Amino acid sequence: MSMELLAQINKDFAALILLTSFGLLVQRRIYALLLLFAWQGLFLSISTAIVGFVAEAHHLYIASILTLLLKVILIPYVLHILIHRLQIYKEVENLTNIPLIMLIGIALVIFSYHLTLPIQELSTLMTRSTIAVALATVMLGLLMMITRRHAVTQVIGFLAMENGLFFAATSTTYGMPLVIELGVALDILIAAFIFGIFFFHIRTTFDSLDVEQMMKLKEED
C-alpha cells in the first residue's frame, strides 16, 4: 500500500474519532455511551498502529496495543461490570438543548483548527492534519463533562478527553517517549480504579449517581 493511501486512511480514522466524540456528546443512554467510548478507543488504536507503520516508529505499536488493552477492553469491561452492579443499565440521562450543545461542539472544532494552525505550519509529519481533530476531541470531552450531570458520563467524558490527548501526542510528535506513555497509562489505570470506588461511595451516600445533588459545598452569603 502506498504511503498516501495510508495517510488518507489515517485521516478517515481521525474523522471517525471526531464522529464518536460528537456521538458521546449527545448520547443519553449510559450503556450506549460506553459502547461509543469503546469504539473511539478502537479507532484510536488502529490509527496509532497506522501512524506507527508509516513513520516506522515502532514504539507506537506498543502504544497502540496498550490503548487496545486499556481503553477498548479493560476500562469498558470494568465500566460494564460497574453499570451492572449499580443497576443503571437502562438509565437515560436528561439532556436538554441538544442542538445547542452540538453547535457549541462545532464551534469548538473550528476553534481547534484555528488554535493548531501554527503547529500545522511547522510540522512536517504526515499526521499534521489530524492535530486539530485531536485538540477538538479534548475540547469535546471537556464540553461533555460540563454538560453532563451523571457521575458515569462525566467519567466517560474524562476518558474521552484522555483519548484526545493521546491522539494529540501521536499526531504532533509520533507519540511521546515510551516511558511517558506507560506512565500516563498507569495513571489512567489508577484513575479508573478510583472512580470505580467512587461510584459506590456516591451511590451509597446519595442513593443515585446524579452529581447534581452534590451542591452542598458552596459559599454562604
Partner 1 sequence: MILLILLGISLFSAIILAFVGDRKFAPEINILGSMATFVAGIALAWQVYLHGQIIAGGNFFFVDAFNVYLATLTSFVSMTTAIFSRRYMRWEMEHGKIGKKRMRFYHAMFQLFIFAMLLALLTNNVGVLWIAMELATLSTVLLVSLYRTPTAIEAAWKYFILCGVGIAQALFGTVLLYFAAERVLGQGGEALLWTNLSMVSDKLEPTILSLAFVFLMIGYGTKVGLVPLHNWLPDAHSEGPTPISAVLSGLLLNVALYALVRCKILVDGATGTHQSGYIMMGFGLLSILVAAFSLLRQKDIKRMFAYSSIEHMGIATFAFGLGGQIATFGALLHMLVHSLTKSAIFFTVGHASQMHETQEMDKIKGLFRGNPLVGWGLVFGVMAIVGMPPFGVFTSEFLILTATMKDAPLLTPLFLIGLGVAFAALFKRVAPMVSGPIPSIQKPLKATHVPVMLHLILVLILGLYMPKFLSQWFHAAVEKCMG
Measured from the CB atom, the residue of 73 and 165 that comes closer to partner 1 is 165
Report the sign of the C-alpha dihedral through residues 158, 146, 203, 40, in that order: negative
Say how far residue 218 (Cα) sits from the centre of its chain. Answer: 30
Measured from the CB atom, the residue of 9 and 119 that comes closer to partner 1 is 119
- Return the residues of window 126-185 that contact partner 1 according to CB under 8 A: 135, 138, 142, 145, 151, 154, 158, 161-162, 165, 168-169, 172-174, 176-180, 183-184
Distance CA 164, CA 143 (A): 13
Measured from the CB atom, the residue of 99 and 118 that comes closer to partner 1 is 118
- Return the residues of window 65-94 that contact partner 1 according to CB under 8 A: none
Distance CA 80, CA 194 (A): 16
Q: Which of 205, 208, 210, 212 binds partner 1 (CB under 8 A)?
A: 205
| Upper half-sphere CA count for residue 40 (Cβ side, 13 Å) | 33
User: What's the chain's length in residues?
Assistant: 221
Distances (CA, A) of 92 to 65, 89, 98, 215: 32, 9, 14, 22
- Return the residues of window 108-127 that contact partner 1 according to CB under 8 A: 115, 118-119, 122-123
Please give the residue ranges that form the binding site for partner 1 (CB under 8 A).
57, 115, 118-119, 122-123, 135, 138, 142, 145, 151, 154, 158, 161-162, 165, 168-169, 172-174, 176-180, 183-184, 186-187, 190-191, 194-195, 197-198, 201-202, 205-206, 211, 214-217, 219-221
